A and B are shown apart, each in its own frame.
Chain A
């Protein structure tokens, strides 16, 4: 199972929640599978999906799923400490761990060598850390969303590999405004 297959499998869960999606192929694949106004596609700032989702979950009550990658979390590893100390119960971090930098040509990351993001997350203070296969991710996500008392970090181990895909054709302000409108914010000033 690769990232595209996994996103296909979990799309029905994602569409009912606020989703922050990592820059590059993850966002492009999710856009192609089932674009929704409650999906915030990152067009820059690699590494910050988990952080954007954390800020969002601290600011309103709806469930938030941050879709991140192993390469991106390795770039912003302090995020796991902040999540371990501050994440509210409506927050779920889904790390799609394919052991490679998918958007830049599938170079190997350190999770394909010695690094375990599960161990890092536990060491950083995250309480509900689940490492699972791609097939088990639906159940893990459902459990995280149904649990109203705890935040979760799910590390979904899948194969590397990408599908051929186009850049997202909507502009950042549209992504921003339709997302905020979905939450119920129509007055900006």
Chain B
């Protein structure tokens, strides 16, 4: 819970006040925290691409949105990212559980893990890769950066960082 709490605290410190998630067991604690947080909006959403649309609308309505998802969700969302969030220059934070990184027990997750950073790089999305507790303090500044550059940004949280956060 310590890691998850620190991530949410830093997102909130960065101004993020609107959260969606497509669930992942590595995000479960963060979802629990957000469901009980009266200061921010939180909802589940069935699919990541749809979530990108809801985030775009939230930004138009003056919220600072974040969508939490597995890295697989990036694959589901490429067109929405490029032809909506980037076309209109909308700041949105992607909080990504980085499945398929070392420690991952499910072999099939390895495929998307191999290309996740390549996709984000191709999309020119700024990345913050969190592999240890010390990286988490960078999340608030990095989130604010999304607003300054008017762009989606991606925070990748390694499997091993999240797996023992019970």
B partners with A: yes
Residues of A whose CB lies within 8 Å of any CB of B are: 20, 40, 42-45, 47-60, 76, 78-79, 81-82, 86, 172-173, 175-176, 179-180, 183, 185, 188-189
Say yes or no: B50 contacts A76, CB within 8 Å.
yes
Complex Cα distance, B162 from A177, in Å, reads 38
A45-B80, A189-B148 given as contacts; is B62 within 8 A of A52 (CB)?
A: no
- Asked whether any CB of chain A lies closer than 8 Å to the CB of B47, the reply is yes
* Chain B positions within 8 Å of A42 at CB level: 84
Kindly list chain A residues whose C-beta atoms are within 8 Å of the C-beta of B90: 176
**Contact, CB under 8 Å: B62 / A54:** no
Residues of chain B contacted by A79 (CB below 8 angstroms): 50, 53
With A44-B79, A44-B87 in contact, do A52 and B50 touch (Cβ < 8 Å)? no
A-contact bits for B140-166, CB 8 A (1 contact / 0 none): 000000011010000000000000000
Q: Is the Cβ of B41 less than 8 Å from the Cβ of A176?
A: no
Residues of B in contact with A (beta carbons under 8 Å apart) = 18, 41, 43, 45-47, 49-63, 65, 79-80, 82-84, 87-90, 147-148, 150
Most buried by A among B18, B46, B52, B88: B88
When chains A and B are docked, how far (Å) is the Cα of A79 from the Cα of B53? Answer: 10
What are 15 contact pairs spanning A and B, CB under 8 A?
A48-B80, A51-B51, A51-B56, A52-B56, A52-B57, A52-B60, A57-B61, A59-B18, A59-B57, A59-B62, A59-B63, A76-B47, A176-B60, A176-B89, A188-B150
> What separation, in Å, do the CA atoms of A47 and B79 have in the docked complex?
11
Interface centre among B18, B87, B89 (most CB of A within 10 A): B87
Q: Would you give the shortest CB distance from A93 to chain B, in whole angstroms?
A: 12
**Main SS of the interface on chain A?**
helix
Also in contact, A180 and B62, with CB within 8 A (given A45-B79, A86-B43)? yes
> If the complex has contacts A52-B60, A58-B61, are A45 and B50 also in contact, measured as CB distance less than 8 A?
no
Supposing A44-B87, A82-B45, A189-B147 touch, asked if A56 and B60 sit within 8 A by C-beta, the answer is yes
**Do A175 and B57 touch (CB < 8 A)?**
no
Assembly CA distance A40 to B88 (angstroms)? 11
Bound-complex Cα distance A92 to B85 (A): 23
